[in-house]
Chains A and B, each alone.
Chain A
Amino acid sequence: MKHAHFDVVVVGGGHAGCDAAHASARVGAKTALVTLKMDGIGVMSCNPAIGGLGKGHLVREIDALDGVMGRVADKAGIQFRLLNRRKGPAVQGPRAQADRAIYRREMLAEMTSFPGLSVIEGEVVDFLMDGAAVCGLILADGSEIRAKSVVLTTGTFLRGIIHIGDQHYSGGRMGDNAANKLGERMDAFNLPLGRLKTGTPPRLDGRTIDWSKLEEQPGDEDPVLFSFLSNDLHAKQVSCGITHTNEKTHQIIRDNLSRSAMYGGHIDGVGPRYCPSIEDKVVRFADKSSHQVFLEPEGLEDHTIYPNGISTSLPAEVQEDYVRSMVGLENVTILQPGYAIEYDYVDPRALDLRLGLRDVPGLFLAGQINGTTGYEEAAAQGLVAGLNAAHQSLGLDPVTFSRSDSYIGVMIDDLTTRGVSEPYRMFTSRAEYRLSLRADNADQRLTPKGLEVGLVGEARKAAFGHKMEELAKGRDLLESRSVSPKVLNENGIKVGEDGKKRSLYQVLAFPDVSVADLVAIEPELADLSTATQEQLQKDALYATYILRQEQDAAALRKDEARGIPSDFDYHALDGLSNELKMKLLSVRPSNLAQAGRIEGMTPAALALILARLNRERRDKSA
Chain B
Amino acid sequence: MDTIFALASAPGRAGVSVLRISGPGALAALGAFGVSNPVPRETMLRILRDDAGDVLDQALVLYFDGPRSFTGEDVVELHLHGSPAIVTSTLRILGTLPGVRMADAGEFTRRALENGKMDLAQVEGLADLIDSETEAQRRQAQRVFSGKLGSLVQEWRKDLIRAAALLEAVIDFVDEDVPVDVRPEVRNLLEKMDKSLTSQARGAAVAERVRHGFEVAILGAPNAGKSTLLNYLAGRDAAITSAVAGTTRDVIEVRMDLNGLPVTLLDTAGLRETEDEVEAIGISRARERATQADLRLYLLEPGETPQFELDGDDIILAGKADLTGDANGISGETGQGVPQLIERITEVFAKRTAMVATATRERHQHAILRAIQDLTQARAMLDDPRYSEDLIAEELRSAIRALDSLVGIVDVESLLDEIFSSFCIGK
Q: Which of A84, A512, A554 has the most CB of B within 10 A?
A: A84
A378 to B15, CA, bound (A): 64
Contact present for B130 and A84 (CB under 8 Å): no
Contact present for B174 and A53 (CB under 8 Å): yes
Q: Which chain A residues (418-447) contact chain B, with CB distance < 8 Å?
A: 427-430, 432, 434-435
Chain A neighbourhood of B168, CB < 8 A: 427, 429
Q: Which chain B residues (381-427) contact chain A, with CB distance < 8 Å?
A: 384, 386-391, 393-394, 397, 409, 412, 415-416, 420, 424-427
Chain A neighbourhood of B394, CB < 8 A: 434-435, 545
Contact present for A602 and B134 (CB under 8 Å): yes
Q: Mark B85-118, 1 if CB is under 8 A from A, else 0.
A: 0000000000000010000111101100110101
Q: Which one of B116, B389, B415 lies within 8 Å of A91 (CB-CB)? A: B389
A371 to chain B, nearest CB (A): 15
Chain A neighbourhood of B387, CB < 8 A: 511
Known A429-B168, A432-B397: A88·B427 in contact at CB below 8 Å: no
Contact present for A611 and B113 (CB under 8 Å): yes
Contact present for A428 and B171 (CB under 8 Å): yes
Contact present for A429 and B110 (CB under 8 Å): no
Q: Is A484 on the interface with B (CB-CB < 8 A)?
A: no
Contact present for A555 and B1 (CB under 8 Å): yes
Contact present for A90 and B390 (CB under 8 Å): yes
Contact present for B106 and A602 (CB under 8 Å): yes
Chain B neighbourhood of A3, CB < 8 A: none
Contact present for B130 and A511 (CB under 8 Å): no
Number of A residues near B (Cβ < 8 Å) is: 52
Contact present for A607 and B110 (CB under 8 Å): yes
Contact present for B390 and A604 (CB under 8 Å): no
Contact present for B130 and A604 (CB under 8 Å): yes
Chain A neighbourhood of B426, CB < 8 A: 274-276, 280-281, 309
Q: Is B243 on the interface with A (CB-CB < 8 A)?
A: no
Contact present for A284 and B130 (CB under 8 Å): no
Chain A neighbourhood of B109, CB < 8 A: 604, 607
Q: Mark B30-54, 1 if CB is under 8 A from A, else 0.
A: 0000000000000000000000000
Q: Is B177 on the interface with A (CB-CB < 8 A)?
A: yes
Contact present for A87 and B390 (CB under 8 Å): yes
Chain B neighbourhood of A575, CB < 8 A: 126-128, 130-131
* Smallest CB gap from A548: residue in B: B398
Contact present for B172 and A53 (CB under 8 Å): yes
B114 to chain A, nearest CB (A): 7
Contact present for A88 and B391 (CB under 8 Å): yes
Q: Mark B114-142, 1 if CB is under 8 A from A, else 0.
A: 10101010010011101101100100000
Q: Is B311 on the interface with A (CB-CB < 8 A)?
A: no
* Smallest CB gap from B127: residue in A: A575
Chain B neighbourhood of A292, CB < 8 A: 177, 427
Q: Is B326 on the interface with A (CB-CB < 8 A)?
A: no
Contact present for B106 and A604 (CB under 8 Å): yes
Q: Is B175 on the interface with A (CB-CB < 8 A)?
A: yes
Contact present for A607 and B126 (CB under 8 Å): yes
Chain A neighbourhood of B412, CB < 8 A: 427, 429-430
Q: Is B237 on the interface with A (CB-CB < 8 A)?
A: no
B394 to chain A, nearest CB (A): 6
Q: Is B185 on the interface with A (CB-CB < 8 A)?
A: no
A91 to B394, CA, bound (A): 12
Q: Mark A124-135, 1 if CB is under 8 A from B, else 0.
A: 000000000000
Known A53-B171, A430-B412, A551-B1: A308·B114 in contact at CB below 8 Å: no
Contact present for A291 and B177 (CB under 8 Å): yes
Q: Is B343 on the interface with A (CB-CB < 8 A)?
A: no
Contact present for B388 and A614 (CB under 8 Å): no
Number of B residues near A (Cβ < 8 Å) is: 49
Q: Is A273 on the interface with B (CB-CB < 8 A)?
A: yes
A276 to B173, CA, bound (A): 14
A606 to B412, CA, bound (A): 23
Contact present for A54 and B172 (CB under 8 Å): yes
A607 to B123, CA, bound (A): 10
Contact present for A429 and B171 (CB under 8 Å): yes
A425 to chain B, nearest CB (A): 10
Contact present for A607 and B106 (CB under 8 Å): yes
Q: Is B2 on the interface with A (CB-CB < 8 A)?
A: yes
Contact present for A603 and B174 (CB under 8 Å): no
Chain B neighbourhood of A316, CB < 8 A: none
Q: Is A574 on the interface with B (CB-CB < 8 A)?
A: yes
Chain B neighbourhood of A611, CB < 8 A: 113, 118, 123, 126
Chain B neighbourhood of A84, CB < 8 A: 171, 174
Chain A neighbourhood of B173, CB < 8 A: 53, 274
Q: Mark B152-190, 1 if CB is under 8 A from A, else 0.
A: 000000000000000010011111010000000000000
A435 to B397, CA, bound (A): 12
Chain B neighbourhood of A602, CB < 8 A: 104-106, 134, 137
Contact present for A83 and B424 (CB under 8 Å): no
Q: Is A285 on the interface with B (CB-CB < 8 A)?
A: yes
Q: Which chain A residues (494-520) contact chain B, with CB distance < 8 Å?
A: 511-512
Q: Which chain A residues (38-95) contact chain B, with CB distance < 8 Å?
A: 53-54, 83-84, 86-88, 90-91
Known A432-B397, A435-B390: A615·B106 in contact at CB below 8 Å: no
B186 to chain A, nearest CB (A): 15
Q: Which chain B residues (359-399) contact chain A, with CB distance < 8 Å?
A: 384, 386-391, 393-394, 397
A606 to B111, CA, bound (A): 11
Chain B neighbourhood of A182, CB < 8 A: none
Q: Mark A538-559, 1 if CB is under 8 A from B, else 0.
A: 0000000100000100110000
A1 to chain B, nearest CB (A): 49
Q: Is A610 on the interface with B (CB-CB < 8 A)?
A: yes
A432 to B394, CA, bound (A): 9
Contact present for A273 and B425 (CB under 8 Å): yes
Chain A neighbourhood of B104, CB < 8 A: 602-604
Q: Is A248 on the interface with B (CB-CB < 8 A)?
A: no
B71 to chain A, nearest CB (A): 12
Q: Which one of B116, B130, B174 lies within 8 Å of A83 (CB-CB)? A: B174
Q: Is A568 on the interface with B (CB-CB < 8 A)?
A: no
A614 to B107, CA, bound (A): 17
B120 to chain A, nearest CB (A): 7
Q: Mark A322-347, 1 if CB is under 8 A from B, else 0.
A: 00000000000000000000000000
A87 to B109, CA, bound (A): 43
Q: Is A288 on the interface with B (CB-CB < 8 A)?
A: yes
A426 to chain B, nearest CB (A): 9
B384 to chain A, nearest CB (A): 8
Contact present for B172 and A427 (CB under 8 Å): yes
Q: Is A263 on the interface with B (CB-CB < 8 A)?
A: no
A294 to B173, CA, bound (A): 15
Contact present for A614 and B174 (CB under 8 Å): no
A604 to B109, CA, bound (A): 8
Contact present for A574 and B386 (CB under 8 Å): no
B177 to chain A, nearest CB (A): 7
A607 to B415, CA, bound (A): 30
Q: Which one of B1, B99, B105, B391 lies within 8 Å of A545 (CB-CB)? A: B391
A105 to chain B, nearest CB (A): 27
Q: Is A608 on the interface with B (CB-CB < 8 A)?
A: yes
Contact present for A614 and B113 (CB under 8 Å): yes
Chain B neighbourhood of A293, CB < 8 A: 427
List 20 A-B pairs, Cβ < 8 Å: A53-B171, A53-B172, A53-B174, A87-B389, A275-B426, A276-B424, A276-B426, A288-B177, A309-B427, A435-B394, A599-B409, A603-B106, A604-B104, A604-B105, A604-B133, A605-B134, A607-B130, A608-B126, A611-B113, A614-B116
Interface residues of B (CB under 8 A from A): 1-2, 99, 104-107, 109-110, 113-114, 116, 118, 120, 123, 126-128, 130-131, 133-134, 137, 168, 171-175, 177, 384, 386-391, 393-394, 397, 409, 412, 415-416, 420, 424-427
The 10 closest A-B pairs by CB, nearest first: A604-B106, A575-B127, A607-B110, A88-B388, A511-B386, A604-B130, A88-B390, A574-B127, A87-B388, A273-B420
17 additional contacts (CB under 8 A) given A53-B173, A86-B388: A87-B171, A274-B173, A284-B424, A428-B171, A428-B172, A429-B168, A429-B171, A429-B412, A429-B416, A545-B394, A575-B131, A603-B105, A605-B134, A607-B109, A608-B130, A610-B114, A611-B118
